[in-house]
Structure formats: C-alpha cells, structure tokens
Copies of this chain bind each other. A is one copy, B any other.
Amino acid sequence: MNLKQLAAHLGLSQTTVSRALNGYPEVSEQTRIRVAEAARALNYSPNARAKGLATGRAMAIGHVIPISTQHEMVNPVFGDFIAGASEAYLKAGYDMTLSLSGDEDEADNYRRLKAKGHVDGIIVHGPKMADGRIPFLRGLDLPFVVHGRASELDIPYSWIDMNNTSAFKRATSFLLDLGHTRIALLNGLEFMDFAYRRRIGYEEALTDRGIAPDPALMRGEEMTEPFGYRAAAELLAAAHPPTAFLTSSLITAIGIRRAIHEAGLEMGRDVSVITHDDDLSYLANGRDMPIFTATRSSVREAGRLAAEMLLRHIAAPARDPETHLLEAQLIIGGSTGPAPKPT
C-alpha cells in the first residue's frame, strides 16, 4: 500500500492525502479524518526511503561503536546506553542504526554514513584521550554528540559525560577518611578518556592529603573479572598490601572480591572496595542495600540525555555545542569500612 494507491482509494490526490497525513492546514478537517481512518484501516505507513529522499532527512541516528582490534570486546555499557537513547528516539520518531567498526576504518565509516544519507546525526562512543573522530566529524557537517570527552582535544563539540574526576576523587577521599592510606586503583585502559580522568581524581585526592600516588598500586586494563581477581591477588600478596581498592567497573570489583575471599580476608572489614557502578539493568549492585560502595551514575540516563541533545541539534543546526556533566552519587554499601589497625 503506497500513497498513490491510498489516494486512488480515497478519490483524492496524493498531495491532499500527504498533507492530511502530515498535518498541513490546507485540508478540511473532514477529509483529514477520512484520510486518517483509511490509512489506519489499510495499514498504510509511508515508505521511509521515499520520504527521506523527498525531505532530505533520514529520520535516523547512527551509533558507531568501536571494536578495537586488539581486544574484541563489546562495551557492556552499550546495551543500557542504547536503551536510554531509544526512548528519546521513539518519542521523536527516529530510528537507530548501528555500525561496529574497527578503529582503522572509522573515519571512512563516518564519511560513508553521511554520504549515504543514512543518518541525520551520530553518537560517538568510547572516546579516547585524543580521539581523531571528533575533529573529523566537525569537518563533516553532521551533528554529533560524544558520550564522554577527549581530554587532549581543545575544540568545541557537544558531549555528555559523567564527572569521572570528581567521582573518583570523592571515592578516594572517602577511603582516606576511613583511614586507608594504601589504596589500589584498578582502572580501565588508560588511553580511554574516562580512565584517565578517574586516575586524575584518585591522584588529586591522594596528593591533597600529602600522599604520593604509588605506581605499584595502579593498574589499567580491560575491565574483566579475571583482571580484578589477578591484580587484587597479586597486590594482596605483596609485601605491603593495599587496604582498599578503587575500581572502574562492577565486573572488576567482583574479581577483587573473589581474590579477597581467597586470601582469607573479608571485604568491608579487612579490605575495602569501592567501584564505579554504571547502574546497568543486568548488573544490579543490590537495590536497597548495595553490595559494593560505589560511585553510581546511570548510563541509561546518559543515553537518554545524549539522544535528546542530538535531536535538539538536528532540529536547530546552528546551535552552539552543548555539554552536560553528570555527577555520580556516592552510595555506601557493605564493601567499605575503617582501615584495619596495622598489626
């Protein structure tokens, strides 16, 4: 069923039917109703490609998610981010197209995305500290919003980010207040911007208290359970073990917990753990009584906000870049406690 057929069926012109369906004023209320009913009855829904061709708008947003070639890992945060974003898209009638791409051909990927006219805007995921995609996209005249920031770039662009630095600074201060002085940091890969910023927060809190950050206590890797386990096990077995861990992911925290138990220690009493918690739907950190003390910030919410931001930019392309900094909550769970008295 297409417009022409629908128009013929109604004995009207395509023009009138199109206008009736799209809410233009120059059509009588009576025919508008007639058209709307026929459209529903005949299950008509306009062909998006034709509409896009005619209007020049794709009514779709592109999400390009980077899969680094070294470690073929899909960011677990992605699902929830998308879920949030799609709430916004649904309301606005936008679709979402996904493309995974290795880091080499990403620029090409974006260019093609634009040339093909597939999308009206792009959300950039997982920015690195000096992410080349951002200057590239700025030159492309395609609205985009970055989820995160690129610290080494000093050009304006729209982003939404969590305040990684302050979150980890507060978490570290909290541990310091509890008397911990040897605090390990099990971070994500340090070329990722969020990981860098989290380390800065951690180091700032330490130096503010006159404690020099100890490189031996800091690791940055892909945030898996085995990483948390291995790193924590090593550190706990060292001569001068940490009494607390700060980590970037719940999954890593779970590995840390395993190492703590295996060392015959108890989390929250002998060793404290704070993790960042993206509030993922399938990785709940307990609802009422959180298992882990955590800096929490909903990635789903970030997705929603990023999408809304992007849609605003598409509606008003002249608009200046917009930025949005989310503050994480520090929620207290059972994984932290006063530093044990030195024996």
Query: Chain A residues in contact with chain B, CB under 8 A?
Result: 1, 43-50, 52-53, 58, 60, 67, 71-76, 78-80, 82-83, 86, 90, 95-100, 111-112, 115-118, 222-226, 251, 254, 257-258, 261, 280-284, 286-287, 291
- Residue contact A46 to B116, C-beta cutoff 8 Å: yes
Closest Cβ–Cβ distance, residue A51 to chain B (whole Å): 8
What's the Cα separation between A264 and B72 when bound, in Å? 37
Q: Which residues of B contact A80 (CB under 8 A)?
A: 74
Q: Which residues of B contact A287 (CB under 8 A)?
A: 226
Closest Cβ–Cβ distance, residue A43 to chain B (whole Å): 7
What's the Cα separation between A34 and B97 when bound, in Å? 33
Q: Which residues of B contact A281 (CB under 8 A)?
A: 71-74
- Residue contact B283 to A251, C-beta cutoff 8 Å: yes
- Residue contact A73 to B282, C-beta cutoff 8 Å: yes
> Would A44 and B83 be within 8 Å (CB), given that A53-B49, A98-B96 are in contact?
no
What's the Cα separation between A44 and B43 when bound, in Å? 37
- Residue contact B112 to A284, C-beta cutoff 8 Å: no
Q: Which residues of B contact A280 (CB under 8 A)?
A: 76
Q: Which residues of B contact A100 (CB under 8 A)?
A: 82-83, 86, 90
Q: Choose from B1, B44, B79 the contact partner of A76 (Cβ within 8 Å).
A: B79
What's the Cα separation between A78 and B65 when bound, in Å? 14
- Residue contact A67 to B79, C-beta cutoff 8 Å: no
Would you mind naming 5 contact pairs between A and B with Cβ atoms under 8 Å apart?
A49-B117, A50-B53, A72-B83, A76-B76, A82-B98
- Residue contact A79 to B83, C-beta cutoff 8 Å: no
Q: Which residues of B contact A254 (CB under 8 A)?
A: 225, 254
What's the Cα separation between A78 and B282 when bound, in Å? 12
What's the Cα separation between A207 and B262 when bound, in Å? 37
> Would A97 and B43 be within 8 Å (CB), given that A1-B115, A49-B52, A117-B48 are in contact?
no
> Would A97 and B96 be within 8 Å (CB), given that A53-B50, A281-B72 are in contact?
yes
- Residue contact A98 to B99, C-beta cutoff 8 Å: no
Q: Choose from B73, B82, B224, B284 the contact partner of A74 (Cβ within 8 Å).
A: B82
